[in-house]
Structure 1
Amino acid sequence: MILRDSAALRSRVTEWKKTGASIGLVPTMGALHEGHLSLVRAAQAECARVIVSIFVNPTQFNNAHDLANYPRSEAADVALLAGVDGIFIPTVEAMYPEGYSTSVQVSGLTDRLEGAHRPGHFSGMATVVTKLFGMSGADRAYFGEKDWQQLQIIRRFTQDLNLPVSITSCPTLREADGLALSSRNRRLPEAARLRAPRLHAIMQETAWAIRAGRPIAAALTAGEADLEAVGFGPIDYLACCDAQTLMPAREMTPGQTLRLLAAAALDSVRLIDNIVI
Structure 2
Amino acid sequence: MFENILALSGRMPQRLVCVDGQLVNLLAVRRFVTPAADPVCLDVQFDLPFADGAFDAVFSSTCLPEIPAQAHVVREAVRVTAATGWTLFDSLWALDSGVLRCDPYRPYRYLQNFLPRAADYRTVIDRWTGDRSAGYAFSRDPGAQLSGPIWAFDEAEIEAELSAATDTELNALVIDRDRFAGFVPADHDWMPGALSVSPAYRSAPGAATLLRRRAEFAEMNAVFASLDFPGLPERVELDTPPAPGSWAGLFAAGVLAALPPDYDVARGPLPH
Structure 1 length-normalised TM = 0.30
Q: Which structure features the higher share of helix residues? A: 1
Structure 2 length-normalised TM = 0.30
